[in-house]
A and B are shown apart, each in its own frame.
Chain A
Amino acid sequence: MTAIDWAWFPDHIGDMTTLTLDHLSIAVPAVLSGLVIALPLAVVAHRVRKLRGLILGASNVLFTVPSLAFFVLLLPVTGLTRGTAITGLTIYTLVVLIRNTVEGLDSVPAHAREASLAMGSRPLRTLLTVELPLALPVIMAGVRVATVMTISLVSVASYIGYGGLGQLFTDGFQRSYTTPVIAGVLLTLLLALLADAVLVAVQYLCTPWARHRTKEA
């Protein structure tokens, strides 16, 4: 029962591919949606002292709610669809994304912002062209953590039929069949590793000034 059935792998390459793509089709929108929501919230938390605690606190509390509960509670609202899984997972990314964006913005030297404003840029332009780029390393660190975490959490949505590679876990569980479970775990890890590497590359491409700095150091 616990021996691996090696014949399973070549027989299921198609399934593994489909499930991996399925998995990504849930994880990627979740992280992107998280960013869309987190960035403005983080800017507010950074700028408005009073709301900072509230926003960070609220996202912290949301994070402690078990993910399965979110999916189940969303069912009457969003139906048994991919969107339910994506919405639940988006909520989980918020904690990391908001926190890292706030920290990133905090780390931007004040004089950089002031100089930009002094040169006539409006606050929004300063935000987009000076602060966020400078905060990018810390923000990207958050995106990486959120992405890896989301890729792992997608499998919980197998409880409502949208678990991507997590469907392999339910399949193996139902039939007491270890092989698909092992395949699912390995593929999930691989996917997370790949996603992380891609994000590192993206960060490298988007922060050319950081490259020069490492050259000097």
Chain B
Amino acid sequence: MLQLLSDLVHWLTSSAQWSGPGGITARLLEHIQYSLLATLAGAVLALPLGLFIGHTRRFAFLAINLAGFGRALPTVGLVTLVFLAGGLSMWPVYVALIALAVPVIVTNTYAGMTAVDPDVTDAARGVGMTGFQVLWQIELPLALPLVMTGLRLAMIQVVSTATIAAYVSFGGLGRYIFDGLAQRDLVQVLGGALLVAALAVLLDLAMAGVQRSLFRHRPADAS
């Protein structure tokens, strides 16, 4: 056990480990790239949907249940399906990651929109604002804390799950887990797992920090 830990420390700290195409830096950057792209794409799809449902209150059942559906969808199954349909590319990975991000963002955006005090929106409409102006100038700013929480939760899950890129031969930190298993190198598996966790935690803290500073004057909203 102790030997494993000391090997691990050695693996994480040796400079050779961090350089080169298979090095930690390269894998980290690949992993961040997959995660950012997927979360962004998910946001592009999910935010308008969540805002629309939250604003019009139509299809509310979709927003409420989408998170459940997304949670139930097995990632491995989705990756396999897209791979079988489209061959070897990053598509299986991105489809699966976006499918993971979208429900979380939709549900939280919807929750944020519905948390807006109806009196405020009523007043806004009362002074003659159009629906779109109400959405953009009143609802969205007020919903922003929960929207950001949604983005944050989505990001964390995506970072954790982006290891599947290695399952279909691509890079990222998942490479250490799969290669470590294949080469019977438990230190590599452990190292990869720790790096993913560390990345997710750091990103979470960073985004929480951003949230806190954005909503400093609204202590009730900052989570």
Residues of B in contact with A, size category: 35 or more
From 171 to 223 in chain B, residues with beta carbon under 8 angstroms from any chain A beta carbon are: 174, 177, 180-181, 186, 189-190, 192-194, 196-197, 200-201, 204
Does residue A54 face the partner (Cβ distance < 8 Å to B)? no
Does residue B75 face the partner (Cβ distance < 8 Å to A)? yes
User: B18-26, B54-62, B131-139, B153-161: which one contacts chain A?
Assistant: B153-161
Interface contact A173-B190, CB-CB below 8 Å: no
Interface contact A184-B74, CB-CB below 8 Å: yes
Q: How far is the CB of B66 from chain A (nearest CB, A)?
A: 12
> Which DSSP category, helix, strand, loop or mixed, fits chain A's interface?
helix
User: Given contacts A1-B84, A64-B197, A176-B84, is CB(A166)–CB(B76) below 8 Å?
Assistant: yes
Interface contact B189-A185, CB-CB below 8 Å: no
From 1 to 40 in chain A, residues with beta carbon under 8 angstroms from any chain B beta carbon are: 1-2
Q: How far is the CB of B36 from chain A (nearest CB, A)?
A: 16
Contacts of A155 in B (CB 8 A): 74-77
* Cα separation A163 to B193 with both chains bound (whole Å): 20
Q: How many residues of A contact B (CB 8 A)?
A: 42
Interface contact B85-A148, CB-CB below 8 Å: no
Does residue B37 face the partner (Cβ distance < 8 Å to A)? no
Interface contact A156-B76, CB-CB below 8 Å: yes
Interface contact A73-B201, CB-CB below 8 Å: no
- Which of B161, B181, B201 is close to A61, meaning CB atoms less than 8 Å apart? B201
* Cα separation A70 to B180 with both chains bound (whole Å): 13
Contacts of B201 in A (CB 8 A): 60-61, 64
* Cα separation A184 to B74 with both chains bound (whole Å): 9
Given contact pairs A155-B75, A155-B77, A189-B73, a sample of 7 additional A-B residue pairs in the complex whose CB atoms are under 8 Å apart: A1-B84, A148-B71, A148-B72, A151-B72, A153-B74, A173-B80, A173-B83
Which A residues are within 8 Å of any B CB, using their own CB?
Answer: 1-2, 60-61, 63-66, 68-70, 72-73, 76, 144-145, 148-149, 151-153, 155-156, 158, 163, 165-166, 169, 172-173, 176-178, 181-182, 184-185, 188-189, 192-193, 196
